[in-house]
Amino acid sequence: MIDRLGSWEYWQSSIDGVNALLPWSSQSENMDVERLEIRIVQTGWQTAWQSLLKFAARWEQREPPVEEIEKWANEGP
């Protein structure tokens, strides 16, 4: 996830934004978020991380439309 967040933030690679969102959306309850956040701070990808969290929270109760995911990823963090 961290390398996808980095590629999305640094290279503006929208596909990497989506590739970070998908595992978070489906597996966040199984992730060690504390450890993940430590690594995110160490690597400097907090902007991408915060964008991902905000988007995921907005769609917490339902699946986001593909168009919304695409728009979010293309805008970048």
Exposed/middle/buried for 54, CB within 10 Å: 0-12, 13-18, 19+? exposed
pLDDT value for 22: 96
The residue whose two tokens read 């060690």 is 32
Residue 11: domain span: 2-75
Token pair in block for residue 38: 């430590």
Rg of the chain taking only CA atoms, in angstroms: 12
pLDDT value for 23: 95
pLDDT value for 33: 97
Span 8-25, average pLDDT: 97
If one counts every other C-beta atom within 10 angstroms of the C-beta of residue 74, the result is 12
Q: What domain count does the chain have?
A: 1
Q: What mean pLDDT is reported for the chain?
A: 97
* CA–CA gap between residue 17 and residue 14 (Å, rounded): 5
pTM of the model: 0.94
